[in-house]
């Protein structure tokens, strides 16, 4: 896969290489989707206790590991947007630890700007896909995606020692290790599922262009709507219509998306759950995306 990536942007053969990479990723996802729920379970933080656990995980990643923010006395990373956000996390079942989290921030009016509008509005230059182009109750922002170091490591890193947060081969099985790189993808899927359920179809996010390109290989096609700026590293504003995700995902990832949404519904607190049948999953959106 590494050699294929080096050829993906080459003229003439680049298109063929990208299709090959997408096919390989889809096949792998089909295998992973059968095992993912055995080890990792997406959930909604429906209680204050779970939300505090989410904030603690974010502190670990954003303040202690990445140093994007200062260490807090409370050892919780939270801000003014958390009260109007839906928080999702993925639980590693055998260790009971949180393996990742993401939030979906909502807004009701102009007095409740999205973080992207408040801090990065100068980076947005697309005339038709800015947040201001849509009704306020139809937009949201994906934010604070965090995966702790122990779950970011690949199997190849597991001999580097516990001090670096490496995966302990005596703790995690090889099948579990194969699932770990999919944690971030499943968090993006979870946020998109929450957006669709709440009918906030227009989703915005600040991310690294390299990450946006990588996500296209699995069919998550964020569109750039502005320029690159310094914001916890070099990042740019992106947009996606959440309703399109089931149509652009490769078949292997559609199965993974269905599994993610099913687990979110089971956890309770899923936006729109009370008004939408449990069986209406991703493939149902493909047929009726309204």
pLDDT in tens, 194-238: 999 899 999 999 999 988 888 887 888 999 999 999 988 889 999
pLDDT in tens, 7-28: 445 454 444 444 544 554 555 6
2-287 carries CATH number 3.50.50.60? no
Which residues of the chain fall short of a pLDDT of 70?
1-34, 153-181, 272-290
Write the secondary structure of the chain as one string of H (helix), E (strand) and C (coil): CHHHHHHCCCCCCHHHHHHHHHHHHHHHHHHHHHHHHHHEEEEECCCHHHHHHHHHHHHHHHHHHCCCCCCCCCCCCCCCCHHHEEEEEEEECCCCCEEEEEEEEECCCCCCCCHHHHHHHHHECCCCCCHHHCCHHHEEEEEEEECCHHHHCCHHHCCCCHHHCCCCCCCCCHHHHHHHHHHHHHHHHHHHHHHHHCCCCEEEEEECHHHHHHHHCCCCCCEECECCEECCCEEEEEEEEHHHHHHHCCHHHHHHHHHHHHHHHHHCCCCCHHHCCCCCCHHHHHHCCC
Q: Please tell me the predicted confidence (pLDDT) of residue 180.
A: 58
Q: Please tell me the predicted confidence (pLDDT) of residue 45.
A: 95
- CB contact at 8 A, 218 and 186: no
Q: Please tell me the predicted confidence (pLDDT) of residue 178.
A: 57
- CB contact at 8 A, 206 and 235: yes
Q: Please tell me the predicted confidence (pLDDT) of residue 155.
A: 43
Other C-beta atoms lying within 10 Å of the C-beta of residue 234:
11
| Reported pTM | 0.78
Q: Please tell me the predicted confidence (pLDDT) of residue 28.
A: 61
Q: What is the mean pLDDT of the chain?
A: 79
Q: Please tell me the predicted confidence (pLDDT) of residue 125.
A: 96
Residue 87 forms beta bridges with which residues? 103
Other C-beta atoms lying within 10 Å of the C-beta of residue 238:
24
């Amino acid at each position: 896969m590494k050699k294929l990536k080096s050829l993906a942007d080459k003229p003439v053969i680049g298109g063929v290489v990208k299709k090959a990479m997408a096919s390989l990723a889809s096949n792998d996802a089909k295998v992973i989707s059968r095992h993912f729920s055995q080890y990792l379970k997406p959930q909604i933080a429906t209680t204050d206790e779970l939300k505090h656990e989410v904030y603690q995980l974010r502190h670990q990643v954003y303040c202690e590991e990445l140093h994007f923010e200062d260490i807090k006395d409370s050892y919780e990373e939270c801000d003014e947007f958390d009260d109007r956000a839906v928080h999702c996390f993925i639980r590693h079942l055998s260790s009971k630890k949180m393996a990742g989290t993401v939030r979906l921030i909502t807004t009701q009016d102009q007095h409740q700007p999205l973080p992207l509008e408040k801090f990065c509005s100068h980076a947005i230059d697309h005339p038709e896909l800015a947040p201001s182009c849509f009704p306020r109750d139809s937009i949201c922002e994906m934010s604070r995606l965090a995966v702790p170091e122990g779950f970011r490591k690949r199997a190849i890193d597991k001999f580097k020692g516990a001090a670096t947060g490496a995966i302990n081969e005596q703790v995690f099985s090889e099948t579990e290790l194969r699932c770990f790189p999919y944690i971030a993808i499943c968090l993006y899927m979870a946020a998109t599922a929450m957006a669709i359920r709440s009918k906030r179809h227009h989703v915005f996010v600040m991310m690294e262009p390299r990450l946006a390109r990588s996500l296209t290989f699995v069919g998550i096609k964020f569109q750039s709507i502005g320029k690159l700026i310094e914001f916890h590293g070099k990042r740019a504003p992106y947009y996606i219509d959440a309703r399109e995700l089931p149509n652009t995902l490769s078949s292997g990832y559609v199965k993974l998306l269905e599994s993610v949404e099913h687990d979110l519904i089971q956890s309770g607190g899923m936006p729109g759950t009370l008004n939408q049948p449990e069986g209406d999953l991703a493939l149902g959106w493909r047929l009726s995306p309204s």
